Amino acid sequence: MKILIQVHRMIGGGAERVAASWANGLAKLGDDVMILSDHSAGTYPLDPKVKLIQKDLLSPANNSLIKKLRNKTLAPLKTFRQIRSILASEKPDAIVNVLYHNHIIALLARCFSRHKCPIIMTDHNPYERPENAKMPLRKRINKFFDNRFFDKVTVLTGPDKEILNRKGIRNVEVLHNPLFLAPVKEIPEKENIVMACGRINDWHYKGFDILMKAWSEVGPRHPEWKLRIVGAGSEANKNKLKQIAGAGADSLEFVEYTTDIIGEYRKAAIFVLSSRYEGWGLVMVEALSQGCAVIASNYKGRQAEAIRDGENGLLVPPENVGELKNKLNLLIEDKKLRETLQKEAPRNLEEYSEEKTAARLKGIIRSSI
C-alpha cells in the first residue's frame, strides 16, 4: 500500500516519535510510506525507503501585522493545494493524520480531489480529564465532533474507545503507541537514580509538582539517591519545581531533552510517571523495556493496561502525594522488590513492538479501504 502520514513536525515530542516509528514499521512491511511535515529533517531516524515531504511553507513574517495576517490566511490554502497535489500525483491508499494538525484541510482536500482515499485520525491523548484540568473547547470539538468525519479513529486505550462509543462515534479502534526500544535481555547496571521524563513547561499535566512534593521528603531521607527529570523547559519553571521540592532540591537534576534517552533509562533504577492524566504513557513502557522499576499514576485504568500492580510495576492514584512518597520509599528501601520488578519489567512487551503496532495500523487501514 501507499500511505501518507501527516504530522506537524518531526522534531522532538512523543507523537512525532510515534509517526517515525509507524513509518519505519510500515516500510519494513513493504509499504510505500510518505511523511508530510513542516520540517525537512527530524530528530528521529527514518528508514531510507520513507519519503519525507516538507510542507510548502510561506516565508516567515516579520513584525508587520499585515504580513502576519496574510500568512495566517494563506498558509491553510497552500497546505490544501499541496495535499490535493499529493492526492493527484501519488494516489495514496490512505492518509494517516497524527493528532489534529491540518486535519480539516485534509478532509477538504479529499472532497475536492478526484482521488478518494480513507483518512485515519490517530489521537494520543485521553478523552477525559480531572476537574482541575478541564479540556479546552477546541479539544472537545476535535474529539467529539471532528472525529465523526474520519473513516477510522484510533485511541490509546479501551476506556477512551468506550467514551467515544457512548457519544455515538463507532469508527474507533484501540492502537497502542509503538515501543521503539528493544527490551533488554539482561538488566543493565543501575545507579541510585529516580527518573521522570516530559516537557518541563507541561509540569502541571505531567504532575511534576506532585513528584516534587513527594521528593521533598524522600530526597532528604535518602541522600544517596537523586531525582533526574529529562525534558526541555524554561528556567522559570525549573526554578518553580525546585522551590516545591524544598529540601529535596539538593538531589534534583534537570536534563535537557536528549537523543540518548536509552542511556538515561538504563542508568535509572526507578522510573516515575506522575501525570495528573495521561492517554497511556509511552515513556512508561520505554522505561519498562529498559529494566526500570516503574511507579505509574493510574488515570482511570489507562496505565493498568501495561502495568500489573505488584508484578511488573506499581500503580498509585493520580495526585496522591502520600501514596507516591510511600511507593518511592518502598522501592528505594526494598532492594529485593525493586530488583524483582526490574526483572519482570521487560517481559511481555511484544505487542507494543514497532513491527506489531505497524501491522495493527496496516490492518486498520485495510479495513477502511
- 143 is in which domain, residue-wise? 2-178+353-368
- Looking at the chain, the number of H-run helices and the number of E-run strands are 13, 13
Judgement on whether residues 171 and 222 belong to the same structural domain of the protein: no
Q: Are residues 173 and 224 in the same domain?
A: no
Same structural domain, 221 and 251: yes
Does 183 fall in a domain? Answer: no
In a domain, 185, yes or no: no
**Tens digit of pLDDT at every position of the chain (369 positions):** 999 999 988 776 778 889 999 999 999 999 999 999 986 666 788 999 999 998 876 666 566 676 677 777 788 899 999 999 999 999 999 999 999 989 999 999 999 999 999 999 999 889 999 988 899 999 999 999 999 999 999 999 999 999 999 999 999 999 999 998 999 999 999 999 999 999 999 999 999 999 999 999 999 999 999 999 999 999 999 999 999 999 999 999 999 877 788 999 999 999 999 999 998 888 999 999 999 999 999 999 999 999 999 999 999 999 999 999 999 999 999 999 999 999 999 999 998 998 999 999 999 999 998
**Is residue 197 domain-shared with residue 332, that is, in the same domain?**
yes
Does residue 238 sit in the same domain as residue 297? yes
Name, in order, each residue with C-beta under 8 angstroms of 30's C-beta and a sequence gap of 6 or more: none
Question: Does any domain span residue 186?
Answer: no
Residues 357 and 344 in one domain: no
Residues 77 and 94 both lie in one domain = yes
Measured CA to CA, the distance from residue 79 to residue 104 in angstroms comes to 11
Asked if residue 170 and residue 90 are part of one domain, the reply reads yes
**Residue 184, in any domain of the structure:** no
Is 325 within 8 Å of 217 (Cβ atoms)?
Answer: yes
**36 domain-assigned:** yes
Do 337 and 198 belong together in one domain? yes
- Whether 151 is in a domain gets the answer yes
Q: Are both 164 and 24 inside the same structural domain?
A: yes
Cα distance between residue 46 and residue 27, in whole Å: 10
Three-state DSSP state, 310: coil
Would residue 247 count as lying in a domain?
yes
324 burial type by CB count under 10 A (0-12 exposed, 13-18 middle, 19+ buried): buried
The reply to whether 112 and 229 lie within a common domain is no
* Residue 168 grid coordinates: 455515538
